[in-house]
Amino acid sequence: MATKAAHKRLTREYANLQKSPVEYIHASPEETNILSWHYILTGPPDSAYHNGQYWGTLTFPPDYPFAPPAIRMHTPSGRFRCSERLCLSISDFHPKSFNPAWEVSTILLGVLSFMTSEEMTTGSISASEGERKAFAKRSRWWNSTGGGSTSRTIGGKSGNSKGFGAIKAGDGGKRFREQFPELDKENWAWMEKEGIDPQTGKKVAVEGSPSCTPEIDGLRRRGTGGSNAGLAQVVENGQAARDAGQGWLARNKLYLIAGALFAYAVMARLLSDQQKA
C-alpha cells in the first residue's frame, strides 16, 4: 500500500502527463493501484523500432520517490526479454543511485534512450536491425491479441494458427485491453484494414491474390471469352498449364541432351589426338 506521500506524488505526476504529454510516451496507473503503472513507448523515427508499440509496466515501491520502480517491457522488441526486470540506474536494481527528483516521464525517457542504444545489461538481448523492425511491425498485433492467444477473429475468418506467428502469451490481450481500451480498438481496426490474422499476425490470403506459381496465377488472369473462346485460346491455356506443371529438367531436356553430345564429341576428339601423339 502506498504511503500518503507516494500517493500524492504519483497522482500529481499522472496529472502532469495528461496536461503536458511527452513525445513517444504514454503512461497511466491502474484504477485500483496507484503503485502499478502501464506505459506505451512508441518507437521513434530513424530507429529500428520506428512506429512500434511497446507496452510495459512500472511497479513503484510504497515509499516512492525515495526508491525506484521495477521496470519491465512485455511486448517483444528484440531489445529486452519480455516481462523481465531491467537493470538500469533508474530501476530497483540500483536504489542508491535513484534521484527523488526524477519523475515517471524521466524514468520512461531513460528507458527509451537505453532501448535505442546498444548497451547491454540484465534483461537486455541482442538482435539484428531487421529482427527488431519485424518485431516493431508486429507489436500492435501482439499487444491486442496476447501474442496470438486470442479467440477473436476478423470477419468470421481465421487463418492457420500454427507457425512462427503463433506466440502464446496466454491472456488473449485481456490486460492490454483493460488498460488501453482506445489503443486496443485502434489496433483491431488496423488489423482488419491490413487483413492481419489475429491468431498468427500474418496477412490473410484474400480471394484473387496469388497463391501458386506465377505461371498458374497467370492462367487465372487470362479471359476465356465465354462460349466463343477459340481453339487458339484453349491451346494457349493448355500450354501454360503444361509449362507450370513441368519441372526445370523436363522443360530444358533438349538443351541438356545437346550439351551432353557436345561434351562427348570433345572428349572423343581429345582421346583420339592423344593416341596419335
Q: What is the pLDDT of residues 220-247, one digit of tens each?
A: 343 434 434 343 443 344 444 344 444 4
For residue 202, the number of C-alpha atoms closer than 13 Å in the C-beta half-sphere is 14
Q: What pLDDT sits at residue 276?
A: 62
The sheet with strand 33-42 has its strands ordered as 25-30, 33-42, 53-59, 70-73
Q: What pLDDT sits at residue 206?
A: 57
Residues 40 and 13: beta-carbon distance below 8 Å? no
Average pLDDT over residues 55-78: 97
Please tell me which residue in 22, 67, 82, 87 is annotated as part of the active site: 87
pLDDT digits (tens, 9 = 90+) for 111-146: 999 999 999 999 999 999 999 999 999 999 999 999
pLDDT digits (tens, 9 = 90+) for 172-228: 999 999 999 999 999 999 999 999 999 999 998 655 545 444 433 443 343 434 434
Active-site residue, 82 included: no
Q: What is the pTM of this model?
A: 0.71
Q: Which CATH architecture has domain 4-194?
A: Roll (3.10)
Give the residue from 211, 212, 208, 233 showing the smallest Cα distance to 221: 208
Average pLDDT over residues 265-276: 66
Q: What pLDDT sits at residue 193?
A: 95
Q: What pLDDT sits at residue 252?
A: 61
Q: What pLDDT sits at residue 129?
A: 97
Q: What pLDDT sits at residue 257?
A: 72
pLDDT tier at 251, thresholds 50, 70, 90? low
- Output the average pLDDT for the chain: 81
* Other C-beta atoms lying within 10 Å of the C-beta of residue 27: 22
165: cell is 506467428
Q: Is the pLDDT of residue 271 over 80?
A: no
| Concatenated DSSP letters of 35-49 | EEEEEEEEPPTTSTT
Torsion of CA 159, 160, 166, 172, to 10 degrees: 50
Domain ranges in the chain?
Answer: 4-194, 214-276
